[in-house]
């Protein structure tokens, strides 16, 4: 049975906006892309000595199992030139599965909900825009509630209107 998965997209190398839009379009390989948030300009988190990011969140209706969805995301990253050399370093594209319906997953390869999503403004701003009622299955709080109580000081600036599809 299909579920809605929310996937964070981010880029800070090359054509950042184009990279995010191409990745969102390629997510159709995982199912039906039912929504895409606005694009957001964001400060880097972790390794601050790098260019700023463009971030967004996509909603994908998928019948893929979580591990299969992760494989599609990694394939998209590879196709768009992602090289995993420095943790939290510059990247052409980064795709993270935030939520997969109401399921939780904990394996060596994948943790859902994303373990750091509730503390990151660059994730919660676009998620709350796209799916304000999306519920974190462990914290049992909506995206809007998590964003309202967030203490993350990093700048996140909305760049444009939301689209329903990439």
d(CA 147, CA 126): 10
- Identify whether 121 is a catalytic site residue: no
Written as one string, the DSSP assignment of 69-114 is: HHHHHHHHHHHTT----STT---S-EEEEEEETTB-EE-SS-EES-
- Identify whether 82 is a catalytic site residue: yes
d(CA 84, CA 20): 17
Strand pairing of 105-106 and 111-112?
A: antiparallel
From 21, 22, 82, 120, the catalytic residue: 82
SS3 6: strand
d(CA 113, CA 97): 7
| 20, 52 contact by CB (below 8 A) | no
From 16, 91, 120, 121, the catalytic residue: 91
Residue whose token pair is 């909506």: 142
Residue 42 is classified by DSSP as E
From 21, 96, 120, 121, the catalytic residue: 96
From 16, 22, 94, 120, the catalytic residue: 94
Mind telling me the catalytic residues? 82, 91, 94, 96
């Amino acid at each position: 049975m299909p579920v809605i998965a929310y996937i964070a997209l981010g880029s800070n190398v090359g054509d950042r906006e184009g990279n995010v839009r191409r990745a969102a379009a390629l997510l159709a390989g995982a199912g039906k892309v039912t929504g895409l948030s606005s694009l957001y300009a964001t400060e880097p988190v972790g390794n601050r000595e790098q260019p700023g990011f463009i971030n967004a969140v996509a909603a994908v209706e998928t019948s893929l199992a979580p591990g299969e969805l992760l494989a599609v995301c990694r394939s998209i990253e590879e196709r768009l030139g992602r090289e995993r050399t420095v943790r939290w370093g510059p990247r052409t594209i980064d795709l993270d599965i935030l939520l997969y319906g109401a399921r939780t997953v904990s394996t060596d390869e994948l943790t859902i909900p994303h373990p750091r999503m509730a503390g990151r403004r660059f994730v919660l701003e676009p998620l709350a825009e796209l799916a304000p009622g999306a519920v974190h299955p462990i914290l049992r709080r909506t995206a809007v509630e998590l964003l309202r109580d967030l203490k993350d000081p990093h700048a996140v600036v909305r760049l444009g209107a939301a689209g329903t599809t990439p």
